[in-house]
Every structure is written in structure tokens, then in C-alpha cells.
Chains A and B, each alone.
Chain A
Amino acid sequence: MLRDLVDQAAPPAELEAIITPTRAVTWGQLRELASTIAEVHRALARRRVGLSFASEAYSYAAFAALDQLECDVFLFDARAPVDEAFRLATKLRLGALIVPAAAGSAHQTEVHELSDEAPWSGNRSVTILTSGSTGEPKAVRHSWESLCRPVRKTSSSSFPRWLLAYQPYLYAGLQVMIQCFAEGGTLAIANQGLEPSAIARFICDAKVQYASATPSYWRRLLMFGDRISLGQAPLIQITLGGETVDQSVLDSLSGLFPSARIAHIYATTELGRCFTVADGLAGFPANYLDSALPDGTELQIRDDELFVRRSGNAMTMYDPLYSAHGFRSEWFATGDLVDVRGTRVCFMGRRTEMINVAGSKVYPLEVENVIRTVPGVVDVRVFGRVSSIAGEMVACEVVAAKGQNESSLKERLIRVCRANLSNYKQPRQIRFVQSIDMSAAGKTLRSKAV
């Protein structure tokens, strides 16, 4: 399917397929590389194969090759320790694992055969190992049809230029790649670990037209990147996904890119993309709850939590060898807490992120939204801190704007919280930090502190 997409779009061989801050690979080179890998690794056809996926052209070429060989492909994080990848691959009963070759090798990848391989599923598939911040990842299998379903024809001329700001081996990163390649575009990969100012320059230099990233990623970029150079990027569309969008990041983006279409996506690894909101407001219209959306997706609120049901055949399932639950077209508990406010459904945070202060519920997002209004605060993370007296207390980490006096900022922050939040919602522990940690998937980490 990946090969079909690419062949259908038929981008010129000399057009760049993948660019990183250090190199560019053309469509011609990518096709050739994929063919070579498929030829060399013919023995992997119709088998369960793990691919250690890096933000590099050869990973995409290997992916296309495995697709051509009709494999059940399992995507691994190339930056994770190799031993961990082998442990997981063995547990998943894969037949082989493809990892980056050692330095000096003739090829860019190496294949390690594994014993105890389970049978091929009978169809080419892609299994994503979800980014649990703790514990074992979940193996979620997708068909190419389910992965390609959200692909839309963009309004621009052909060969769009997309920024890849997500992990390439997770659902969101695959979506960006598929959307881009389906139109024969150029994928601009801002490598992990790149400083926000360098990302801003890269976006400009790479002439990115479409950019999709988490709100945390955008916030960091707006906060530390050079807005003047960023504002010169020819962005046509900005997409936010992967975590809840707050109004301030939408406003900042529309201020900087007044002519871009700005949309936020609601998706889960298990269900894929559920709906898109593009009216410039956080949350989603309450009338989405009234009837099925045009693509058949249904939404419901049960006990403050958003439930989603996808119509039609189940496209997604957990790998039966790894995760116990099968998934069919039943109502799915998303773990996202919502509140209907007038004609809008607002996201209140993750169920597991909810802080329980002496029996009272506190949603981190609500507190974060208040703190974000304090002048001098550039970023904030609110989380529960274990308290021997109250069960949990609200704690926060704050990034102060350059040149701010921390103690006077702290006083202002406390005053604003006191004026806008109930006693139990006010953060009782305030720490200043240089930056807010993000998870591998680019989301603000709200794991609880002990």
C-alpha cells in the first residue's frame, strides 16, 4: 500500500522525498533504496518482521520494502536500547528484527533472525507499539486501509511539503508520512533533540507548508523559537494533535499565521482519527454528540468521559499474541474527561491525570489554563503530588519568561490562582524549571510525583 501510494502520486524522481537538517533524499533515491532492500531481504516476505524505525530516509525505504514483501511489520523506536527491542521482538514472536547497521557496514540496516516465529497474519499489516510512559507498550495492529482512511486531498497544488514533528514510528507520525507521500510530497523531518530556534529555522528553510505537532511542541516552538523567522514560513495548514488543545496556543498560532488553516485532531492509537475541529476554538461543538459524524463516528459522554464508536468493520485490533483484548466496533472509553459548557464540549484532562485532593477532583488542565493567563508565565505543567495528609495536592512546574523575577512572578501566580480557583485547586507546590518535559510522543508529562 505504501508503494502503491508513492507510485500513484508519481512525484518526479529528482524531487526531494525526505529532508532533514543535514541531508536530502530524492524520490528516485528512495525508490531505488526500497527496491534494493526488498531484493536483498526477499526471505522476509510474508513474515512477522520488526523494524527499528529512525527519522531517516533508510527507515522509510525499509518500511516500503517490507510493505512490498507483504510483511506484518512491527515498528520499534530506533532510539530505544537494542536489548529492549530484542526482548519485545521475542515476546511478540517476530521472525526477524531489522536494526541500523553497525558503523562501517556496507548496508544501512542489519537483519537479525529470531526463533519461535508466529505465523503470518495473512495480510500486510502495521503494528504500532504505543508509547506508554510506564509499563509495557500495547501492540496495536492496523491494516493499511485503516491507516490510509484519514488521508485527504489537500487543496494546494501537488507535491506538498510536510513537517514531521511526531515520532515516525507512532500513529501520528505515520499519518503525517502517509498524507505527505500520498500526494508525492516532501517530508521535512525535524530531528529529535533539535532546539526550538533550529526547528524554526528548519521549517523556514525547508519551506514547510503543512505542519502537524502536539500543542506542547507548538508551545515550545512559539516560546523559544524566533517568531520572526517562524512567521515567514509559507504555512498553509497547521494541525495540532495528540493531546488536548488549549485556547491560548490556538490564538498564538492564528496570530502568527493569520492565513493558515488551523485545525486540531482528536485521535487515539486504538481508534485512529475520530474528528477534526477547525473553527479556531478549543474543544468541539456539542452538536457532535447528537448524531453520527459524516464518517460514521459516534460520540457519547458517560460519567464525564468521552466514549467513541467507529462504525463498520473493525480495522484495528490488538496483536492477539501480545495484548489480551480484541477490539471491535464497540464503544471505546477514551480516558478523556469532558464537560459540556453551553454549545461546546471542553476537555478537562485524562482520567488518570485527575488529581484527587482530599476527595475533591481537580483537573490539571483547568489549573494550567488559569496559570497560563499570568503575565510572565511561558509554560506550565500541573500534576498531583502525593500528600500524606490530603491524598494528593496540586503541584506545578512553571517556566518563567526571560528576565522575570521568580519570587514576584510566584506572588502574582498565587494571587491569580487565589482569585480564580477554589482553595483545593490552587497549586500548593510551585517550582520554576527551565522547560517542561515532554514524553516520547511530544506530550506534556503529567505523571504524578511522589
Chain B
Amino acid sequence: MAVTTEHQRQIVEVLSEIFSFKGLEAPLLGADTELDQIGLESLDFAQAVIRMQEITGKDPFESGADYQIKTLADLAVLYD
């Protein structure tokens, strides 16, 4: 499934950047990509959250909220 929102598109871009940072080829990413299936480590995720904060000015994890995130779309919604 392709991306449908701006935040999804930004997350795809950020994750692709992080894969290239790790010297890996980014997997095909879309709204329904399951984030725990693509080899994303916890520090990679932390890095993605920092990048997204730089882009959107928002950090949904700051308040320590216990989100359930499965797909890329689930993550993107938190920035809406």
C-alpha cells in the first residue's frame, strides 16, 4: 500500500535515510509496512523519532504515552 498522508511520506523518507545510515538498502516502505518486520532496531527508531521531531516540531513519545504501533500508518497518525 502506498503512502496517503504527508506524515506517512515523511516517515518513509526518514526511515530510508536511517537504512542508508546503517549501510543497508531500505526495504519497500508503505503505509501498511509492519515496523517490527523490517530490521529496525530500537536506536534506529529513537533516531527516527528525533528526525520526525525536527521535521514536524512534535514528539508524541515525549509524554511517555504507551502507544500501540504496528504499521507505519499507526506511527504517522501520532503526528497528525
Contacting pair B43 A428 (CB below 8 A): yes
State whether the Cβ of B12 lies closer than 8 Å to any Cβ in chain A.
no
| Cα-based distance from A388 to B50 in the complex (angstroms) | 8
Contacting pair A357 B43 (CB below 8 A): yes
Query: Quick one: given A414-B21, A418-B22, A428-B50, are A390 and B43 in contact (CB under 8 Å)?
Result: yes
B51 nearest CB across to chain A (Å)? 8
Contacting pair B50 A423 (CB below 8 A): no
| Cα-based distance from A415 to B45 in the complex (angstroms) | 19
- Nearest A residue to B62, CB-CB: A388
Contacting pair A387 B41 (CB below 8 A): no
User: Contacting B45 at CB < 8 Å: which of A385, A389, A429?
Assistant: A389
B21 nearest CB across to chain A (Å)? 6
Q: Which residues on B sit within 8 Å (CB–CB) of A393?
A: 43, 46-47, 50
Greatest chain B CB density within 10 A among A357, A387, A429 is at A387
Binary contact track A120-151/B, C-beta < 8 Å → 1, others 0: 00000000000000000000000000000000
Binary contact track B60-74/A, C-beta < 8 Å → 1, others 0: 011010000000000
B55 nearest CB across to chain A (Å)? 13
Q: Which residues on B sit within 8 Å (CB–CB) of A358?
A: 42-43, 46
Greatest chain A CB density within 10 A among B41, B42, B46, B62 is at B46
B28 nearest CB across to chain A (Å)? 23
Contacting pair A387 B22 (CB below 8 A): no
Cβ contacts A to B, 26 pairs, < 8 Å:
A357-B43, A358-B42, A358-B43, A358-B46, A385-B50, A387-B46, A388-B46, A388-B49, A388-B61, A388-B62, A389-B42, A389-B45, A389-B46, A389-B61, A390-B42, A390-B46, A393-B43, A393-B47, A418-B22, A423-B41, A424-B43, A428-B43, A428-B46, A428-B47, A429-B47, A429-B50
Count contacts between A and B, CB distance < 8 Å: 40
Binary contact track B33-60/A, C-beta < 8 Å → 1, others 0: 0000000011101110110000000010
B75 nearest CB across to chain A (Å)? 12
B64 nearest CB across to chain A (Å)? 8
Greatest chain B CB density within 10 A among A385, A390, A414, A415 is at A390
| Cα-based distance from A389 to B41 in the complex (angstroms) | 12
Give residues 331-373 of A contacting B (CB, 8 Å): 357-358
Contacting pair B43 A418 (CB below 8 A): no
B12 nearest CB across to chain A (Å)? 18
A54 nearest CB across to chain B (Å)? 41
User: Contacting A388 at CB < 8 Å: which of B22, B41, B43, B59?
Assistant: B59
User: Contacting B50 at CB < 8 Å: which of A357, A387, A418?
Assistant: A387
Q: Which residues on A sit within 8 Å (CB–CB) of B62?
A: 388
Q: Which residues on A sit within 8 Å (CB–CB) of B23?
A: 414-415, 418
Q: Which residues on A sit within 8 Å (CB–CB) of B42?
A: 358, 389-390
Q: Which residues on B sit within 8 Å (CB–CB) of A424?
A: 43
B41 nearest CB across to chain A (Å)? 7
